[in-house]
Amino acid sequence: MTKSLMILIAGPYRSGTGDDPELLRRNLNRLEAAAWPIFQAGHLPMIGEWVALPVLESAGVTDLSDPLAGEVMYPAAERLLQRCDAVLRLPGESRGADQDVALARDRGIPVYDHLGDIPGVEAPLVDTVQ
C-alpha cells in the first residue's frame, strides 16, 4: 500500500436543492458513498459537511439560508484543505467543490476525478458515486 492520504471528497451538496432537506441528504449520501472505498484502501476520507454541519448546529443554525452558514460551510472545507493530501472531485455542478479543486491545485494537492485514480482504490466496474 502507498502512504495513507487524507482525501477531501468534494461534490454537490447544496447545488440545485433549494436547501430541501431530502435533496441535501441525497447529495450527502452520494458524497459519503465514496468514503468506504477510500477508507478500505487505507486512506482517510473527509467531507467538509462532516465538519461544517455540526459547527452550524452548535451555533444554533437550523436553516442553511442563515448568513452564518456562509461563514462556516466553505471556510470549513478551506481549513480542511490545509490538512488534506488530495481531493476527489465528484461530478455535478458545485461552486464550493470547484473552489476546493482550484485551491487544491493552487497548493499543488492532487485532484482525482474518479475513485479508481486514487492509489490503492480498486475501481468498480461502474463508478456508482460518479
Query: 24: domain CATH number?
Result: 3.40.50.10400
pLDDT in tens, 31-89: 999 999 999 999 999 999 999 999 999 999 999 999 999 999 999 999 999 999 999 99
Q: Is residue 130 part of a domain?
A: no
User: Does this model's pTM top 0.95?
Assistant: no
- Residue 43 within a domain: yes
H-helix segments, 13-124: 21-33, 35-40, 48-58, 67-81, 95-106
Give the pLDDT band of residue 120 (cuts 50, 70, 90): very high
pLDDT average, residue stretch 89-94: 96
- Of 123, 122, 110, 125, the closest CA to residue 6 belongs to 110
Residues of the domain holding 60? 6-117
Q: Higher model confidence: residue 129 or residue 55?
A: 55
pLDDT at residue number 123: 67
The residue-averaged pLDDT of 5-27 equals: 96
Domain assignment present for 127: no
Which residues is 8 bridged to in the sheet? Answer: 46, 87
pLDDT reading at 126 higher than 50:
no
Query: Does residue 129 form part of some domain?
Result: no
Q: How many domains are there within the chain?
A: 1
Q: Is residue 82 part of a domain?
A: yes
The pLDDT score that the predictor gives to residue 127 is: 52
The per-residue pLDDT of the chain, averaged, comes to: 92
pLDDT value, residue 122: 83
